[in-house]
Structure 1
Amino acid sequence: MNKNFKTQEAIRRWDMHAETFASGYSEVGDIHREVFLNPTLLDLLDSVHGKRVLDAGCGEGYLSRMLSKLGASVLGIDYSNKMLEIAKDRTPKSLDIRYEHGNLEDLSFLEDQSFDLIVSNMVIQDLSEYDRAINEMYRLLVDGGWFIFSILHPCFITPGSGWVKSEDGEKLYWKVDNYFYEGAYEQAIPLDQDEKLVYFHRTLTSYVDTVIRAGFRIEQLVEPKPSSEILEKYPSFTEDFRCSDFLVFKLAK
């Protein structure tokens, strides 16, 4: 754990590992997005047809492409130049998507109330000044707009969390540790590298207090679970799914 890491270090490491990370993505993202996050996000988003949507932290652009195919006009923002290069290469020119480089902590180049809907998929935990980013999302939304964001579940994915296994490798239980620590930590999942990804952990209380202080109203909190159809496709998740890996907020302005 290292509280001294800032967002700039997270950016450097995402640029370094962008190609390796994106290599595991199909047009529906990686397996965890397919199993847990996409069904939840699409359900909460409802219809996006004709809406101005900000994909806040778009990465290699899979969600931007999904939303555009559903009729949205999409701006994808990411702080990793390398991820944006990959997104542009993977995006057909026929789709109504524009990509811009930017850190969600400061999007002052965008005008107030520019978007009907903002979605941020697994990004807020990559920011040291997440409160500034959430305030920016409030500024950029029209009145009555929605901000939907997903994060690693702060109660279960903590610095030091992980499977405790028997001597023969059987998974016994999921250990949670250091829940009240708030700050940066390094995580090798899903990559095994010398310079790991940098995440920033906060408590659930901190997240809730921050969105309320920004002015948002919490409409829904969802802890995604795989559907029976998904479990038929990926039966291994039946055994592994013992706690929630993700938490999704739906906020109203």
Structure 2
Amino acid sequence: MKKNAGTEEAIKRWDRFADAYAANHTEQGDIHKEVFLNPAIFSLIDSVKNKKVLDAGCGEGYLSRMLAKSGASVTAVDYSPRMIEIAMDRTPHDLSIHYRQGNCEDLHFLEDNSFELIVSNMVIQDLADYEQAFQEMHRLLAAGGCFIFSILHPCFVTPESGWEKTHDGKKLHWNVDQYFYEGVYEQKLGDQENMLFFHRTLTSYINTINKTGFHIESVLEPKPSKEMLKKYPSFEEDLRCPDFIVFKLRNLTNF
């Protein structure tokens, strides 16, 4: 664990990883987004037609494009300058997407209460100051609006988690350790170096959500559908424990 690293170091690593990361993304995202996260997120979203939507941590922009194709006016931000470049290159000019480089911990260039929906897909665990990121999302969201975010499941994906295997590679069970450690750790993800993730307990997430002023409307722990298991049978093992968790929050301030 690399306890002295923060968001700035995470940005540098994601920027260096951006091209390899984007190469694994289609218009449905990567395979985990296709199987788990897209179905969960879109099940929580009402019609976005003619709505102002923020894609908070857009990466190479696949979700921004999906939202824009559904009729949303999308503002998309990412803290990696290279990710923004790739997203702009991949986006047709006729889609209503405005890309900006920016850290979700501080989006001062965006106006208060300016979005009816904010989606942050697998981003919050990449930020050292998640409390400030939640405050920014609350500031930017209109009264009655929704904030949907997905993260690695903090109960199961921890700094010391992974499969227990037999000598011949058979997966016996999923080990979890260091759950109560809160802070940065390295995860083997990059093509040349590890990425930095920031772990918090489920208690910390929920208490921060409540303290920020959000109302928790729904929580999903995505699992592969029968249709996805037919397409990708190897994901049968993901019926044993969840890798992700998705929250739908509402801003009830003055609503």
Whether the TM-score (by the shorter chain) exceeds 0.5 is: yes
> Counterparts of 1:172 and 1:233 in 2: how far apart (Å)?
24
Deviation at 1:3, TM superposition (A): 2.2
- The 2-side partners of 1:236 and 1:128 are apart by 33
Distance 1:239 1:248 in 2: 20
Please name the residue that 2:214 is paired with: 216
Q: How does 1:57-136 map to 2 (within 5 A)?
A: 57-136=57-136
Question: How much is the aligned-residue C-alpha RMSD, in angstroms?
Answer: 0.8
Question: What CA distance in whole angstroms lies between the structure 2 residues aligned with 1:208 and 1:89?
Answer: 37
Q: Deviations over 1:64-85 (max 9, x none)?
A: 0000000000000000000001
What is the deviation of 1:164?
1.1
SS of residue in 2 equivalent to 1:149: strand
Is it true that 1:226 corresponds to 2:220 in the alignment?
no
What does residue 155 of structure 2 align with?
A: 155
Please, what TM-score do these two structures have when normalized by structure 1? Answer: 0.98
* Equivalent position of 2:177 in the other structure: 177
Which of 236, 239, 242 aligns to 1:238? It is: 236
Distance 1:123 1:182 in 2: 17
Unpaired runs of at least 5, structure 2? none
Quote how far apart the aligned CAs of 1:105 are: 0.5
Which residue matches 2:36? 36
Report the equivalent of 1:2. Answer: 2
Q: What letter is aligned with 2:47?
A: S
What SS does the corresponding residue of 1:249 show, helix, strand or coil? Answer: strand
Cα shift at 1:2: 2.1
Preserved contact between residue 223 and residue 238 of structure 2 (Cα < 8 Å) = no
Unpaired stretches in structure 1, ≥5 consecutive residues: none
Q: CA deviation at 1:4?
A: 1.2
Structure 1 stretches of at least 4 aligned residues deviating more than 4 Å after TM superposition: none
**1:109 positional shift:** 1.0
In 1, Cα distance between equivalents of 2:82 and 2:124: 19
Alpha-carbon offset, residue 240 of structure 1 = 4.1
CA contact (8 A) 2:153 2:243 kept: yes
TM (norm. structure 2) is 0.97
CA distance in structure 1 between the partners assigned to 2:151 and 2:236 by the alignment = 22
Matched residues, number: 251
